Amino acid sequence: MKTNQNLLFALLLISGGLASCNSSSTKNTAAADSVGTSTAGLKIPDSAAFEGQVDNKKVHLYTLKNQSGDQASITNFGARLVSLLVKDNKDQPVDVILGHDSLKPYQGKSENYFGAVVGRYGNRIAKGKFSVDGKSYQLEINNGQNTLHGGFNGFYKKVWDAKQIDDHTLELSYLAKDAEAGYPGNLNVKVTYSLEDDHSLKISYSATTDKTTVVNLTNHAYFNLNGAGDKTITDHMLTLEADGYTPVDTTLIPTGKIEKVAGTPFDFTKAKLIGANINDENAQLKNGKGYDHNWVLRKGTGLRKAATVSSSKTGIVMEVLTEEPGIQFYSGNFLTNDINNGKAGATYGYRSAFCLETQHFPDSPNQPSFPSTVLKPGATYHTITVYKFSVKK
Ligand code: BGC
């Protein structure tokens, strides 16, 4: 019965008829694989390939749907977004997220953090050192001389507790123990994914601690609006709601300055091709091997627009809204052609995806002039990011 429902769902989705499909979704239990391969390399993730046991905890794949025909697949291993199917200008579903077809490759020694929630501190902390409440802490050094995305075993490698609230909402929680990966405090983290009917994927993050600590959570999805597996993102148009960015040293640690983007390759105040200036002679671009920097978003309160990206091939437009002060625009410069275990056998190469990671600025714990990432007992960390999709016909 369940298999029949999934078969029906897959067929409806492939033919673009999901909006009329009313079948309710819970944790995937049937192998959609046998029915899921379709046009244009689109493959509905096979939930059976994500069933597993890691650190004595069960791993599953969960599916979210909305009334508008979009679908998101999320695994509780690393709280990762595995696929996100949205409609293109021909009303066909396109998977805009890079990733793998099964759990195993996500467990490998991957430095790519595909689709993951990264933490306890997203992005870099210089030499893995910081002090809070007069005590200094040493984190794991996993990126040159620095700590990146929480260390070797950050939140992206943990099995989160999952609760599917309804067919469009998944709640994930994780308790990061005091001293885990070197950070102080037991940190209770909750991340809620919800796929809204207005074609948006909303991610709400919250956390509390029992000792003063630092927190910076984000999602590390790699997007290609031409469809995952397409060769490049340099043909996408990008706008960033930012007049400044934080320049970095050769190890990608911010210098502490905020530079104006005007007159530089970092100016995305008006829609511009990602590839327009990416290969310019510029010391900062050289440090990142392309774009891999934090933009300082225009100040405002609450949820506000941070970025707009579009593909002329599919007509897909993605807006990013956030409550965070910064956004890391990373143009996939460290993706190399040896990632040959992508979805449906795809190879993911150099600049074949981009990340837009809403965040507090990198290395904030060591940069007194940056907005603070300190969380104290009694306070609640809370932030929302939304990826909203539409099409240009
Ligand atoms: C960083 C890049 C890094 C990538 C990991 C991004 O958030 O800014 O420098 O290579 O994550 O794949």
The DSSP line for 225-290 is TT-TT-S-STTSEEEESEEEEE-B-TTS-B-S--EE-TTSTT--SS-EETTSSTTSS-HHHHHHTS
Tokens at 217, concatenated: 């959570």
Provide the 10 A C-beta neighbour count for residue 262: 10
> Of residues 339 and 210, which shows the higher confidence score?
210
Percent of the chain surpassing pLDDT 90: 85
Residue 190 in this model has a pLDDT that exceeds 80: yes
pLDDT at residue 159, as a whole number: 98
Q: Which residue has the higher pLDDT, 34 or 290?
A: 290
Which of 146, 355, 358 has most ligand 1 atoms within 8 Å of its beta carbon, as the pocket-test mutant? 355
pLDDT of 368 reads 97
Summarised one tens digit per residue, pLDDT across range 272-285 is: 999 999 999 999 99
Residue 8 has pLDDT above 90, yes or no: no
Residue 356's pLDDT band, with cuts at 50, 70 and 90, is: very high
CB of 123 closer than 6 A to ligand 1?
A: yes
Q: In this predicted structure, which of 117-126, 293-302, 332-341, 351-360 has the lowest mean pLDDT?
A: 332-341
Greater pLDDT, 23 or 180: 180
What's the average model confidence in pLDDT over 314-326?
A: 98
Residue found under tokens 């671009």: 285
| pLDDT value of position 2 | 35
Asked if residue 86 has its Cβ within 6 Å of ligand 1, the reply is: no
Question: 78 or 42, which is more confident?
Answer: 78
Q: What percent of the chain has pLDDT over 70?
A: 88
* Residue 338 pLDDT level (bands cut at 50, 70, 90): confident
281 is catalytic: no
Which residue among 51, 180, 323, 357 is the active-site one? 357
* pLDDT(1) > 60: no
Ligand 1 center from residue 72 Cα (angstroms): 23
How far apart (Å, rounded) are the C-alpha atoms in residues 333 and 323?
27
Q: Which residue has the tokens 């990432």?
A: 373
Q: What is the mean pLDDT of residues 79-102?
A: 97
> Which has more pLDDT, 301 or 156?
156
The pLDDT, as a whole number, for residue 111 is 67
Q: Which mutation among 294, 330, 358 tests ligand 1's pocket best, with the greatest number of atoms within 8 A of CB?
A: 330
Give pLDDT, residue 20. 32
Measured over the CA atoms of residue 163, residue 168, residue 169 and residue 170, the dihedral's sign is positive
Query: pLDDT tier at 110 (50, 70, 90 boundaries)?
Result: low
Q: Which residues pair with 328 in a beta bridge?
A: 294, 357
The span from the CA of 49 to the CA of 55, in Å, is 18
- In this prediction, residues 152-163 reach a mean pLDDT of 97
Among the residue ranges 18-27, 34-43, 168-177, 236-245, the one predicted with the least confidence is: 18-27
Q: Does the C-beta of 328 come closer than 6 Å to ligand 1?
A: yes
Is 167 annotated in a binding site? The answer is no
The residue whose C-alpha atom lies closest to atom 9 belonging to ligand 1 is 292
Tell me if 113 CB under 6 Å of ligand 1. yes
How close is the Cα of 257 to the center of ligand 1, in Å?
20
Mean pLDDT of the chain: 90
